A and B are shown apart, each in its own frame.
Chain A
Amino acid sequence: MTRKTTKTNGLSRRSFIGSGATLGAMAGLGGLPFASSAIADSMVEGSILTARVYADISSLDPAFWTSAVDAMVIRCLFAHSLMYDTNSDVFEAQPSAMKSYEFIDDTHIAFELHEGIMYSGDYGEMTAEDAKYSFERIANPELNSPYMEDWATLDHVEVTGKYTGVIVLTQPFAPLLTTTLPGVSGVILPKAAIEDAGGRFSVQPPCFSGPYRIKDWQPKTRLILERNPDWTLTDAPYEELHLIPIEDPKTAELGFEAGDLDFSEISVSSIPRYEANLPAGAEFNKFEGLNYYWMGINELNDQLADKNVRRAIQLAVDRKTVVDASSLGGAVPAAGIIAPALIGSREANLYDRDVEESKRLLEEAGMANSLNLTISIQQTAENLAAAQVIQANLAEVGIQVTINQYESGTFWSLGSKDEGDQYLDLQLFLMRFSMQPDPSWATMWFTPQQIGIWNWQGFDNAEFGELQEAAQIEIDTEKRDGMYKRMQDLMEESGDFVFLNFVPVGVLNSDKVQTALRPDGEPVFYEFSPKQG
Chain B
Amino acid sequence: MTSPADSPTPGAAPKPDPAGDRPAKRRGAFGRLISDPLGMLGVVLIALTVLAALCAGMTSWDPIALNPLARFQPASSEHWLGTDNLGRDLFTRVLYGARIALTVSIGATVIAMVIGVAAGLIAGYGPRWLDNVMLLIFDAMKSIPTVMLALMLVTVTGPSLYAVLLVVVLVNAPAYARMARTQTLAIRRAEFIDAEQALGAGQARIMLRHVLPNIVGPILIVAAMDIPVVVGIEAGLSFLGLGVRPPTPSWGSILFDGFSYIRESAWPVIAGGLPIVITTLGFTFLGEALRDTFDPKLGGGN
Direct A–B touching, Cβ under 8 Å: yes
Once the chains are docked, how many angstroms separate the CA of A325 from the CA of B87?
Answer: 9
- Chain B residues 237-265 with CB under 8 Å of chain A are 241, 245-247, 257, 260-261, 263-264
User: With contacts defined as CB atoms under 8 Å apart, how many contacts are there between chain A and chain B in the complex?
Assistant: 48
Residue of A nearest to B85 (CB): A385
- Chain B residues 207-245 with CB under 8 Å of chain A are 241, 245
Query: Does any Cβ of B come within 8 Å of A367's Cβ?
Result: no
Once the chains are docked, how many angstroms separate the CA of A324 from the CA of B260?
Answer: 17
Which of the residues B69, B86, B245, B263 comes within 8 Å of A385, measured between beta carbons? Answer: B86
Which of the residues B66, B69, B85, B260 comes within 8 Å of A392, measured between beta carbons? Answer: B66
- Decide yes or no: A389 and B66 within 8 Å by CB, A273-B263, A273-B264 being known contacts: yes
- Chain B residues 163-193 with CB under 8 Å of chain A are none
Query: Does any Cβ of A come within 8 Å of B24's Cβ?
Result: no
Query: Does any Cβ of A come within 8 Å of B5's Cβ?
Result: no
Query: Does any Cβ of A come within 8 Å of B68's Cβ?
Result: yes
Cβ of B65 and Cβ of A325 under 8 Å apart? no
Once the chains are docked, how many angstroms separate the CA of A321 from the CA of B263?
Answer: 22
Residue of B nearest to A395 (CB): B64
A325 proximity list for chain B (CB < 8 A): 66, 68, 71, 85-86
A253 proximity list for chain B (CB < 8 A): 263
Which of the residues B65, B71, B245 comes within 8 Å of A328, measured between beta carbons? Answer: B71
Cβ of A388 and Cβ of B245 under 8 Å apart? no
- Decide yes or no: A321 and B66 within 8 Å by CB, A328-B71, A381-B260, A391-B246 being known contacts: yes
B241 proximity list for chain A (CB < 8 A): 379, 405
Once the chains are docked, how many angstroms separate the CA of A269 from the CA of B37?
Answer: 47
Cβ of B264 and Cβ of A328 under 8 Å apart? yes
- Decide yes or no: A388 and B66 within 8 Å by CB, A325-B86, A328-B71, A379-B241 being known contacts: yes
Once the chains are docked, how many angstroms separate the CA of A391 from the CA of B257?
Answer: 16
Cβ of A402 and Cβ of B245 under 8 Å apart? yes
Once the chains are docked, how many angstroms separate the CA of A253 from the CA of B262?
Answer: 12
Quick one: CB contact mask for A295-335 with B, threshold 8 Å, 1 for yes? 00000000000000000000000000100110010000000
A324 proximity list for chain B (CB < 8 A): 68-69
Q: How many residues of B contact A (CB 8 A)?
A: 17
**A119 → B minimal CB distance (Å):** 46
Once the chains are docked, how many angstroms separate the CA of A392 from the CA of B62?
Answer: 12
Once the chains are docked, how many angstroms separate the CA of A402 from the CA of B71?
Answer: 23
Cβ of B260 and Cβ of A321 under 8 Å apart? no
B260 proximity list for chain A (CB < 8 A): 250, 381, 384
Q: What range describes how many residues of A lie at the interface?
A: 20 to 34
Query: Does any Cβ of B come within 8 Å of A44's Cβ?
Result: no
**A79 → B minimal CB distance (Å):** 41
Which of the residues B64, B66, B68, B246 comes within 8 Å of A384, measured between beta carbons? Answer: B246
Cβ of B263 and Cβ of A388 under 8 Å apart? no
- Chain B residues 68-87 with CB under 8 Å of chain A are 68-69, 71, 85-86
Quick one: CB contact mask for A356-387 with B, threshold 8 Å, 1 for yes? 00000000000000000000000101001101
Once the chains are docked, how many angstroms separate the CA of A356 from the CA of B204?
Answer: 63
Query: Does any Cβ of B come within 8 Å of A159's Cβ?
Result: no
**A97 → B minimal CB distance (Å):** 44
B245 proximity list for chain A (CB < 8 A): 402-403
- Decide yes or no: A388 and B264 within 8 Å by CB, A321-B66, A324-B69, A379-B241 being known contacts: no
Residue of B nearest to A323 (CB): B68
Cβ of B247 and Cβ of A391 under 8 Å apart? yes
A273 proximity list for chain B (CB < 8 A): 263-264
Once the chains are docked, how many angstroms separate the CA of A513 from the CA of B247?
Answer: 42
B247 proximity list for chain A (CB < 8 A): 388, 391-392
A405 proximity list for chain B (CB < 8 A): 241
Cβ of A389 and Cβ of B69 under 8 Å apart? no
**B249 → A minimal CB distance (Å):** 11
**A403 → B minimal CB distance (Å):** 5
Once the chains are docked, how many angstroms separate the CA of A402 from the CA of B248?
Answer: 11
A379, A388, A403, A405 pick with most chain B CB within 10 angstroms: A388
Residue of A nearest to B260 (CB): A381
Which of the residues B71, B86, B261 comes within 8 Å of A388, measured between beta carbons? Answer: B86
- Chain B residues 23-60 with CB under 8 Å of chain A are none
Once the chains are docked, how many angstroms separate the CA of A316 from the CA of B136?
Answer: 57
Once the chains are docked, how many angstroms separate the CA of A388 from the CA of B65?
Answer: 10
For the complex of A and B, 5 pairs with smallest distance between CB atoms: A381-B260, A325-B68, A392-B66, A324-B68, A403-B246
A-B contact pairs, 22 of them (CB 8 A): A250-B260, A269-B264, A273-B263, A324-B68, A324-B69, A325-B68, A325-B71, A325-B85, A325-B86, A328-B71, A328-B264, A381-B257, A385-B86, A387-B246, A389-B66, A389-B68, A389-B86, A391-B247, A392-B64, A402-B245, A403-B245, A403-B246
